[in-house]
Amino acid sequence: MIRVETPQEEQSLKKFRDLVQDLNQDELTDVLLLRFLRARDSPEKAEVQLRKALKWREESKIDSFLIWRPSKPVEEDLCFKYTGPDNEGRPVYWVPIGRWHVRQFLEQGYREDIQKFKYHILEYITNNTEKLGHHQSVVIFGIERLAYSQVLHLESMQLMFASFRDLEQYYPETIKTMYIVNTPWFFPYVMNILRPLLSPRTSNKLKIYNGDKTSWLTALRKTMPDESIPAEYLRETD
């Protein structure tokens, strides 16, 4: 579980709680407050962002997306899964976004499903992680098979960038590390656009690897057992 790390953080947490004492205290656990506090570095900034996040959740009915399901073709294509714990017990999730046919679905009229799906996956990861007794998770983003044509599709890229923005603003400090593996030659251009949109704290969570399997598999094995690494990554030959 998340714990106060220093006397200064304990004082900041107390001040933060005082600033939001008008809100429903049953929802304001120390875990929630510490996540926003660490993401914003000050009680005042954390208060502003927490209020925005709570308002956003209410207006967008975000709680409903945990049980929401997209149309069958979208659900079958936009797969992701929990693979097991890392070496410290944190849940590990595999999100093979390079295999998703986002552009195709957008062009076929599934725009609403794609928009809602990003909230579904964020809600699932956050809630499942809490059920497993942790406040942070590890995510492996598989970029294999990402087509250059999808990167050139403006709306697809806007959705990806918006997902990272929502993660940072509304789900702060819910992910410990994001491994981005099997990136193609053009991925650095994507990151040149994405990184300026992220805070240094979030940007530092990104661990990016190209198609050199030895490199990223070694990195994964340092932090998690083979049982938590997607099985097909272990089966694939160099």
Domain residues for the domain of 124 are 68-235
Q: What is the pLDDT of residue 53?
A: 97
Q: What is the pLDDT of residue 24?
A: 86
Residue 50 belongs to domain with CATH number: 1.10.8
pLDDT tens, 86-132? 999 999 999 999 999 999 999 999 999 999 999 999 999 999 999 99
Residue 172 belongs to domain with CATH number: 3.40.525.10
2 inside domain:
no
Number of domains in the chain: 2
Domain shared by 211 and 120, yes or no? yes
206 inside domain:
yes
Domain shared by 39 and 114, yes or no? no
d(CA 201, CA 18): 25
Residue ranges, the chain, pLDDT below 70: 1, 236-238
1 inside domain:
no
Q: What is the pLDDT of residue 235?
A: 85
Domain shared by 49 and 133, yes or no? no
Q: What is the pLDDT of residue 238?
A: 45
Domain shared by 96 and 149, yes or no? yes
Domain shared by 35 and 111, yes or no? no
Q: What is the pLDDT of residue 9?
A: 94
pTM of the predicted protein model: 0.94
Domain shared by 31 and 147, yes or no? no
142 inside domain:
yes
Domain shared by 16 and 97, yes or no? no
Domain shared by 56 and 73, yes or no? no
Domain shared by 76 and 151, yes or no? yes
Domain shared by 161 and 47, yes or no? no
Domain shared by 154 and 223, yes or no? yes
173 inside domain:
yes
Domain shared by 88 and 45, yes or no? no
